[in-house]
């Protein structure tokens, strides 16, 4: 499949060179090296530039088409884009992968080595950022006129090292060798103000006089959809000092003071906040949010004015999606621009804003709901604070009209009228948006019942569900070429942008020959995974074992600790009966803990402590291995997911908003052991109860137990296995006799256990043993594996994006299917 050649105007065909010729040209003229001296990175850069050249024509074409057709534009504002590597994605979408492979081979180069020479762009923490990256791919594939806006962090998520079993954070420097994909746009630059004061003229018109400002400079990356003809833009903002270095200071000889100013300004886009569900109410974070949101709004309005001369109809031509509350400052900022720069009155400005903005919620955890001290707001954003008060005033009148009482209204305004201490960004985003969505059916239901209960009563049509999805290009076609080829051989390649076609392999689930071929692919993927584990940790895996994988941010609600407790119990059971007929297992963990989240770091230490004991116990041998892979990232996921037999999705029910890793695993034929949480609920509906392994309490049962603060002690008393595990953790069995290390861990689990590890433990254990037995019946296992792949088509992010486009953005897109 070759990308269509594009023409710019009536000029000559620009790519008469073969891809290989372009690469050699770039190697010499862009990288400045000859073949004899080029290393893998040089080749990577030369190839990337050759591919980038071939994206540009489609990019310019797309831009012109959208402009000419006045297609409704969609802007995805996100603090995070967890992209990973781009080369294979772009080669694939442009249909250049096999040509590139052939060329690299002709130069005696190893394709994987060249592809892997690219640094991951890890400008995100976890699910929220990765979802934004999948959405960029799907907006391009479905022909949505979409543009992503974010921050060009100089340093993405920290690199995780493990020293003596503990997580150690190391600096990340993805840009050190440059970024082949980006275009610097020095002419696209906006002044972003902070601080200062507000004056009003005789007519009451306000003017904000910021006391400091920084510049936001644009960097663009082209995002090509499947088959390369629709190319959107990801625009990331970089902070720069306003104006030149202060010359007076410079002339005074105080060069250092001038340089200091520059450093301070550039701090804003220096580093990604590594908290995930754990906000640090830091001034710099607020400035980052304002910085990228304000620059993005100014930029999209400038583009709007190229087609229209009046902002009254903004919402007809533009839809803005706020990825969580991080860009929620867009609500007062857009109103401010409309009022102070364009002369709208407040009511009209609010109306236009509410026709344009939409807000996605990604978590119900109370500690993750952003709020800012009112005083900090006053200091940094005095005009925005005034506008928020006006919004609250208008909201109050609406609420009274709808018959809500004062007490309830106070709880859902942006600022509580009596306490006045916090600006609550969730409430602000809700009030200022046209639609508010959750990311799975269960999550959306719980939004209505809990955090947004009163706002939902007031606006019963505002909350809507949009179940997450994942891009089938990266998460099947590219990461699992073996399975992709097998599927394509059977049903053709229409599934790549119409994933529900995978249904057509359903009849093959019981076909012995197909089962054998599918499982041969799985075995090869397991081998690739085992090779990586050996390289990175030295642990040698038995590929007959169940590869049982839990990879995600480390968090109590995700319950990696329940998994490790079950691992210890299994270890004990094997030791008690070493000659038993045990199904061998490999427990693989990976994920980062927020640097300030001690308990999460302790879980990592416990996993590594258990690994050390188990992996070196001669009684155990190949029956059980435990591995913690350091520095989990997108590229590592691309190897882990295709090689997994079993996917751990075991969050406390009601706490995982959706999950997207769950979808990637099932699509690649791992069976899920999981709770009725997030999108697992909908996966159950799609793959059927016999093909997914659900255990434990549901969200209602969890809420009920948490509400009555039920203690775990009664349950522990009835479980000798669990008792033994707790005793061993306490007596130093896994900590070289150190009885102190896990004191906090034990009291957490045995006394409070907010995340319900103890009550769910037995059903988790039972389900694991059921899966052990099932794995022994290899045909049955293969059938379920195939049915998972066949029935996961609905979880394509193409479906999700079409649904946003229809139900939220009211924006055109290509329909799926032939």
Question: What residue ranges bind ligand 26V (CB under 6 A)?
Answer: 125-128, 131, 273, 275-277, 279, 324, 362-363, 368, 370, 439, 468, 656-660, 678
Pick from 647, 645, 673: which is nearest to 769 by CA? 673
User: Whole-number minimum distance, CB 289 to ligand 26V, in Å?
Assistant: 10
Q: How far is the CB of 58 from ligand 26V (least distance, A)?
A: 29
In this structure, the number of other CB atoms found within 10 A of the CB of residue 407 comes to 8
Q: Which is nearer to ligand 26V, 582 or 599 (CB)?
A: 599
Q: Which two tokens stand for residue 28?
A: 């010499």
Whether 552 is a known active-site residue: answer: yes
Q: What is the nearest approach in angstroms of ligand 26V to the Cβ of residue 563? A: 17
Nearer to ligand 26V, 324 or 783 (CB): 324
**Number of other CB atoms surrounding residue 39 within 10 Å:** 11
Kindly tell me which of 369 and 725 has the beta carbon lying closer to ligand 26V: 369
553 tagged catalytic:
yes
Nearest residue (CB) to ligand 26V, 128 versus 509: 128
Quote the least distance from Cβ 76 to ligand 26V, whole Å.
13
Residue among 87 and 272 whose Cβ is closer to ligand 26V: 272
Strands 212-224 and 183-194: antiparallel
Long-range contacts (CB closer than 8 Å, 24 or more residues apart) made by 458-463: 458/398, 458/399, 458/402, 458/404, 458/412, 462/430, 462/433, 462/434, 462/435, 462/436, 463/435, 463/436, 463/437, 463/438
| Gyration radius of the chain over CA positions | 27
- Choice between 45 and 425, CB closer to ligand 26V: 425
| Nearest one of 595, 626, 604 to 556, comparing CA atoms | 604
Terminal-residue alpha carbon distance, the chain: 16
Closest CB 658 distance from ligand 26V, rounded Å: 4
Distance CA 635, CA 481 (A): 15
Active site residue 605: no
Q: Which residues pair with 169 in a beta bridge?
A: 160
Query: CB of 728 within 8 A of CB of 706?
Result: no
Question: What DSSP character marks residue 795?
Answer: G
State the CB neighbour count (10 A cutoff) for residue 763.
Answer: 14
For residue 739, indicate whether it is catalytic: no
The nearer residue to ligand 26V, 660 or 750, going by C-beta atoms, is 660
Minimum distance of ligand 26V from residue 130's CB (angstroms): 7
Measured distance CA(218)–CA(296) in Å, rounded: 10
**Residue of 62, 356, 660, 675 with catalytic role:** 660
**Rounded least distance, CB 463 to ligand 26V, Å:** 15
| Number of residue whose CB is nearest ligand 26V | 127
- 558 assigned to active site: yes
3-state secondary structure 648-712: EECCCCCCCCCCCHHHHHHHCCCEEEECCCCCHHHHHHHHCHHHCEECCCCHHHHHHHHHCCCCC
Query: How far, in whole angstroms, is CA 615 from its chain's centroid?
Result: 32
Q: Which is nearer to ligand 26V, 195 or 275 (CB)?
A: 275
Beta strand pairing status for 318-323 and 371-373?
A: unpaired
**Catalytic-role residue among 26, 435, 664, 784:** 664
Note if 33 is an active site residue.
Answer: no
CA–chain centroid gap for 439, Å, is: 12
Q: Pinpoint the alpha helices (H) of 281-405.
A: 283-307, 314-317, 330-336, 346-356, 374-380, 382-401
Least separation, in Å, of the C-beta of 799 and ligand 26V?
A: 15
Q: Report, in Å, the least distance between residue 160 CB and ligand 26V.
A: 17
d(C-alpha 535, C-alpha 425), whole Å: 45
Q: Which of 26, 298, 362, 522 is catalytic?
A: 362
Cα pseudo-dihedral 61, 62, 67, 73, rounded to 10: -170
SS3 186: strand
In the complex with ligand 26V, the residue whose CB is nearer, 19 or 128, is 128
Which residue in the list 558, 559, 741, 799 is annotated as catalytic? 558
- When the beta carbons of 279 and 812 are compared against ligand 26V, the nearer one is 279
- Tell the smallest beta-carbon distance from residue 83 to ligand 26V (Å): 15
Active site residues: 362, 552-553, 558, 660, 664
């Amino acid at each position: 499949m070759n990308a269509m050649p594009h023409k710019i105007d009536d000029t000559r065909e620009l790519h008469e060179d073969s891809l290989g010729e372009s690469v050699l040209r770039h190697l010499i003229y862009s990288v400045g090296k000859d073949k004899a001296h080029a290393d893998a990175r040089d080749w990577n850069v030369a190839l990337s530039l050759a591919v980038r050249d071939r994206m540009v024509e489609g990019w310019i074409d797309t831009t012109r088409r959208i402009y000419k057709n006045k297609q409704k534009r969609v802007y995805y504002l996100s603090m995070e884009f967890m992209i990973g590597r781009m080369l294979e994605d772009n080669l694939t979408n442009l249909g250049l992968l096999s040509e590139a492979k052939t060329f690299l081979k002709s130069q005696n180069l190893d394709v994987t080595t060249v592809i892997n020479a690219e640094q991951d762009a890890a400008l995100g923490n976890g699910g929220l950022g990765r979802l934004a990256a999948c959405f960029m791919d799907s907006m391009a594939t479905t022909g949505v006129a979409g543009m992503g806006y974010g921050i060009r962090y100089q340093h993405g998520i920290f690199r995780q090292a493990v020293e003596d079993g503990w997580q150690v954070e190391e600096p990340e420097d993805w840009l050190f060798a440059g970024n082949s994909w980006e275009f610097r746009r020095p002419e696209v630059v906006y002044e972003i103000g902070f601080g200062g004061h507000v004056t009003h003229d005789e007519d009451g018109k306000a003017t904000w006089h910021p006391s400091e400002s920084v510049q936001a400079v644009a960097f663009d990356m082209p995002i090509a959809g499947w088959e390369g003809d629709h190319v959107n833009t990801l625009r990331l903002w970089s902070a720069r000092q306003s104006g030149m270095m202060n010359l007076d200071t410079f002339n005074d000889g105080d060069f250092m003071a001038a340089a200091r100013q520059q450093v301070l300004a550039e701090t804003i886009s220096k580093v990604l906040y590594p908290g995930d569900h754990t906000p640090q109410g830091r001034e710099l974070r607020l400035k980052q949010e304002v910085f990228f949101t304000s620059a993005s709004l100014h930029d999209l309005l400038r583009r709007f004015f190229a087609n229209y001369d009046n902002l009254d109809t903004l919402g007809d031509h533009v839809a803005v999606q706020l990825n969580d509350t991080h860009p929620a400052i867009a609500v007062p900022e857009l109103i401010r621009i409309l009022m102070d720069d364009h002369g709208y009155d407040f009511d009209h400005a609010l109306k236009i804003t509410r026709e344009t903005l939409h807000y996605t919620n990604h978590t119900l955890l109370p500690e993750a709901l952003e709020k800012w001290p009112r005083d900090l707001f006053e200091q940094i954003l005095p005009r925005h604070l005034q506008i928020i008060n006006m919004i609250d005033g208008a909201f109050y009148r609406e609420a009274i009209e709808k018959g809500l009482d004062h007490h309830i209204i106070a709880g859902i305004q942006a600022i509580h009228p009596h306490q006045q201490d916090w600006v609550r960004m969730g409430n602000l985003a809700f009030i200022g948006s046209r639609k508010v969505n959750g990311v799975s059916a269960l999550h959306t239901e719980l939004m209505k019942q809990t955090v947004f209960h009163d706002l939902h009563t007031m606006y019963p049509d505002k909350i809507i569900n949009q179940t997450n999805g994942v891009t089938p290009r990266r998460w099947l076609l590219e990461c699992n070429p073996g399975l992709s080829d097998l599927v394509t051989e059977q049903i053709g390649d229409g599934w790549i942008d119409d994933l529900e076609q995978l249904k057509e392999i359903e009849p093959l689930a019981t076909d012995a020959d197909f089962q054998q071929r599918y499982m041969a692919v799985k075995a090869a993927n397991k081998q690739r995974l085992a090779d990586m584990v050996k390289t990175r940790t030295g642990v040698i895996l038995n590929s007959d074992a169940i590869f049982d994988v839990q990879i995600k941010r480390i968090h109590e609600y995700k319950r990696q600790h329940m998994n490790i407790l079950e691992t210890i119990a299994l270890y004990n059971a094997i030791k008690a009966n070493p000659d038993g007929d045990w199904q061998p297992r490999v427990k693989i963990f990976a994920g980062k803990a927020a640097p300030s989240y001690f308990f999460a770091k302790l879980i990592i230490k416990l996993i590594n402590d258990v690994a050390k004991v188990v992996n070196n116990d001669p009684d155990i041998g190949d029956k059980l291995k435990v591995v913690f892979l350091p520095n989990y990232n997108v590229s590592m996921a691309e190897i882990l997911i295709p090689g997994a037999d079993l996917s751990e999705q075991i969050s406390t029910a009601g706490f995982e908003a959706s999950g997207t890793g769950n979808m990637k695993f099932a699509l690649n034929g791992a069976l899920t052991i999981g709770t009725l949480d997030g999108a697992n609920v909908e996966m159950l509906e799609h793959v059927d109860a016999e093909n997914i392994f659900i255990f434990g309490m549901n969200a209602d049962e969890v809420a009920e137990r948490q509400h009555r603060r039920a203690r775990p002690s009664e349950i522990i008393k009835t479980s000798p296995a669990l008792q033994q595990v707790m005793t061993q953790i306490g007596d130093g069995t896994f900590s070289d006799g150190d009885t102190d290390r896990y004191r906090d861990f034990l009291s957490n689990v045995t006394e409070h256990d907010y995340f319900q590890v103890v009550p769910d433990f037995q059903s988790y254990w039972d389900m694991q043993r059921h899966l052990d037995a099932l794995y022994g019946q290899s045909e049955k296992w293969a059938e379920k594996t195939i049915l998972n792949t066949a029935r996961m088509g609905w979880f394509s992010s193409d479906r999700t994006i079409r649904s946003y486009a229809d139900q939220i953005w009211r924006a055109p897109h290509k329909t799926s299917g032939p």
